[in-house]
Amino acid sequence: MKLLESLYIKVFVNIVLSGNETIVYIENFTKGSVTESFENTFSTVEVNEEMVEYINSYIKESPYFYISLLDISSTQGAIPTCLKSTMNLYHDISDSEYKCQNKQWTHYTSKNDLYEIERRYEAFGLDFVFSPFSVLASFFSDKVDNSLALYILLEDAHMSLAVFDNSQLKYADFIDISNVVESEELVEVEALEEELDEEEGIDLDDLDAIDDLDDIESLDDFGDIEDLDSLDDIDEFSSSEDVEEEFHHDEDVQGEASTSSSDGLSEDYKRFTLVQKSINNFYTDSKYSGDFIENVYVADSVGISHDFKRYFEEEMFMSVYVRKIALVIEIAQLAHSEVL
Amino acid sequence: MKYSYIKPRKKSAITADIKLTLTFFSISILMLFLTYAFLLYKSYSFHKDVISINTKKTMLSSSIEEMKSRILFIEKEDVIASRVKTQNAVLKDSITNLFDLVPERITLSTAQILKNSLVLKGITPNKDVYNFMLQAPLRSIFNRTYSSFYPAGNGWLYFVSTNYTDEEFSMKQEEDDNEN
């Protein structure tokens, strides 16, 4: 059978839901390497005939095909233990499917959601369902093992947060952005931005001119954004090994940030507040160690603006390193490690 | 599974297409084997029939030989039978002629017809009747005729007449008969 298997190509179909779209990335794998890859984006999150036809056209090439999906169910998460006796301290896992990683931490998802996912994709079936926390740990495997830091996987409608200290998970949270009720602050910011937009558009550099913002606690320092840009010059950052990851340091990116739309700003700020809230939870909840986090590593699959990084640096005094991630390729990597 | 929540479905190299192809080839090979087996059986059967037919042929040949010899024998028998029939006819005629030769006054008690001879025994009223009425025709038929008499007690005489035909003469007569 192994001999027969070696004669066939392996087809890895990787599916990621991104906002209102479904990205399908297909790899043909022969003799230990990817020989061909194809990608197609469907403007639906449901399985339609076009998608089934597209996937079937590739999987019919070989009986050895593996269809992987990134789990986006809102009931998923990760907990810093593999012991069943202590798992319930963090989450009731009786109705969850879970996987222990490195005998140190566990990621889980609801069994009902898993059944729902399998039912939704029954037209071609699924072989693997991966947790975004696995993706995060795999993507930052070079960082996770040797430092205490917050790791964030940014997706279009979700964020996966994990605090790792020398490969031991300390805290994790999965945030469904679309389902989170907007905080009053954010609503106020959006209202203000809309108002300013109506006048003549807004230059972020002139934010200090807006008096109303002074009332917003979390945006106290918005007016000093220009000054705070000088943080980029701090030795700690400039001498960092992750210089290449310090996204938006370039001139052109800075320009992009300065002209970013108010929608992007509010979206990034919304993300930031959600992360901030989650970090507060880590600091305040006695279940977690609450170690002080200095570094944030962001796996960015959506293309965030420079402001997102700046919020962390200015409001939480954290060093932020952003690394672009192609989720479909990371999913494919996980599928490879499962099969090969 | 290290990362995935679910296990992958079983993968088999034998797809529906391959199954169909294998089934087709299996049936084809099976049919070939069945045909081969049938031909083997037929060949064996034919070989067996050949042996049987050869045995029968040998038996029939010997039977034909036997029949031929029997036919030959029967033909010979037929020839012999024909000859016997002819001889019997001749003999019958001879006997009829013989009895026609015997006058009413002479009574025969024994007539022995042999190959080249005739022996007659009987009673005659006297020698003259015998000599004139029986011996005279006998002498015309046979080459040699011998007669002897002895008294019967009532005045009549017993007689024994022995008549011979010479071999050459009889053979010549036979040849004449065959020619006729």
Answer with the one of B62, B84, B101 that is the final residue of a domain.
Answer: B101
Cβ distance of B4 and A337 shorter than 8 Å: no
DSSP B9: P
Structural domain contains residue B178: no
Number of domains in chain A: 1
| Whether B123 and B158 share a structural domain | yes
Structural domain contains residue A314: yes
Domain that holds residue B78: 22-101
Structural domain contains residue B35: yes
Structural domain contains residue A118: yes
**3-state SS assignment for residue B129:** helix
Q: Searching chain B, which residue's CA lies closest to the CA of residue A130? A: B4
| Whether B40 and B92 share a structural domain | yes
Among A133, A333, A338, the strongest candidate for a mutation testing the B interface, having the largest count of B CBs within 10 A, is A338
Among B5, B14, B17, the strongest candidate for a mutation testing the A interface, having the largest count of A CBs within 10 A, is B5
Structural domain contains residue B176: no
Residue of A33, A40, A15 lying closest to A331 (CA atoms):
A15
Structural domain contains residue A322: yes
Answer with the one of B56, B79, B101 that is the final residue of a domain.
Answer: B101
Helix axes A251-258, A306-315, angle to 10 degrees: 90
Cβ distance of B3 and A131 shorter than 8 Å: yes
| Whether B29 and B90 share a structural domain | yes
Tell me if chain A has a CB within 8 Å of the CB of B3: yes
Chain A residues within 8 A of B17 when measuring between CB atoms: none
Number of domains in chain B: 2
Q: What is the mean pLDDT of residues A289-297?
A: 87
pLDDT of A102 > 50? The answer is: yes
* B123 Cα distance to chain centroid: 47
Specify the DSSP element, H or E, that contains B49: helix B16-101
Structural domain contains residue B121: yes
**pLDDT at residue A340, rounded to an integer:** 80
pLDDT confidence of A263, banded at 50, 70, 90? Answer: low
**pLDDT at residue B159, rounded to an integer:** 94
Q: Determine the Cα–Cα distance for residues A113 and B85; give it in Å rounded to an integer.
A: 125
**pLDDT at residue A309, rounded to an integer:** 87
Structural domain contains residue B68: yes
A–B interface: beta-carbon pairs under 8 A = 62
Structural domain contains residue A304: yes
Q: Determine the Cα–Cα distance for residues B125 and B155; give it in Å rounded to an integer.
A: 7
Structural domain contains residue B28: yes
A65, A58 Cβ separation under 8 angstroms = yes
* B146 Cα distance to chain centroid: 44
pLDDT tens for each residue of chain B, 180 residues long: 788 999 998 888 877 888 899 999 999 999 999 999 999 999 999 999 999 999 999 999 999 999 999 999 989 988 988 888 888 888 788 788 888 888 888 999 999 988 888 899 999 998 999 999 888 888 888 889 999 999 988 889 999 999 998 876 556 666 666 665
How confident is the model over A127-158, as pLDDT tens digits? 999 999 999 999 998 888 888 899 999 998 88
Cβ distance of B2 and A337 shorter than 8 Å: yes
Tell me if chain A has a CB within 8 Å of the CB of B16: no
Chain B residues within 8 A of A122 when measuring between CB atoms: none
Nearest Cβ partner for A129 among B5, B9, B12: B5
Structural domain contains residue A271: yes
**Residue where the block lists tokens 């729902």:** A116
Domain that holds residue A194: 77-339
Structural domain contains residue A122: yes
Please report, in angstroms and rounded to a whole number, the separation of the first and last CA atoms in chain A.
15
Q: What is the distance in angstroms between the Cα of B11 and the nearest Cα belonging to chain A?
A: 6
Structural domain contains residue B6: no
Answer with the one of B54, B74, B101 that is the final residue of a domain.
Answer: B101
Tell me if chain A has a CB within 8 Å of the CB of B17: no
Tokens of A124: 């071609």
Cβ distance of A127 and B1 shorter than 8 Å: no
- Comparing A1-5, A189-193, A215-219, which segment has the lowest mean pLDDT? A215-219
pLDDT confidence of A204, banded at 50, 70, 90? Answer: very low
Among A60, A93, A129, A339, the strongest candidate for a mutation testing the B interface, having the largest count of B CBs within 10 A, is A129
Chain A residues within 8 A of B7 when measuring between CB atoms: 127
Residues of A with CB under 8 A from a CB of B: 1, 4-5, 7-8, 63-66, 68, 71, 97-99, 101, 109, 114, 118, 125-131, 134, 138, 334, 337-339
CB proximity list for A240: less than 8 A, separation 6 or greater = A246, A319, A321
Q: What is the DSSP code string of A180-215?
A: SPPPHHHHHHHHHHHHHHHHT---GGGGGG-GGGGG
Q: What is the mean pLDDT of residues A180-202?
A: 51
Cβ distance of A130 and B4 shorter than 8 Å: yes
